[in-house]
């Protein structure tokens, strides 16, 4: 499976760990953590958009 993972330039430490990576494959959005790449979460564009909109509005600020 040829998946092109992407990550934010603000999401890693000096070793490149501790970041979320995203990719699109077969119409789904895939997410994984760089330090545990074998665990992949699959979601849809609509679900990811809803999450990102909530994050932009500060709905998850108490978790960070």
Specify the pLDDT at position 1.
Answer: 63
pLDDT tier for residue 45 given thresholds of 50, 70 and 90? very high
Give the residue-averaged pLDDT of 51-63. Answer: 96
**CA–CA distance, 51 with 46 (Å, rounded to integer):** 9
Confidence of residue 13 (pLDDT cuts 50, 70, 90): low
Arithmetic mean of pLDDT, 46-52: 96
Segments making up each domain of the chain, as ranges? 6-63
56 compared with 10, residue with greater pLDDT: 56
pLDDT at 18 (0 to 100) = 74
Query: From CA 13, how far away is CA 36, in angstroms rounded?
Result: 15
């Amino acid at each position: 499976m040829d998946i092109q993972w992407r990550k934010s330039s603000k999401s890693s430490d000096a070793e490149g760990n501790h970041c979320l990576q995203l990719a699109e494959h077969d119409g789904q959005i895939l997410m994984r953590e760089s330090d545990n790449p074998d665990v992949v979460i699959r979601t849809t564009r609509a679900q990811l958009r809803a999450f990102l909109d909530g994050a932009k509005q500060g709905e998850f600020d108490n978790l960070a």
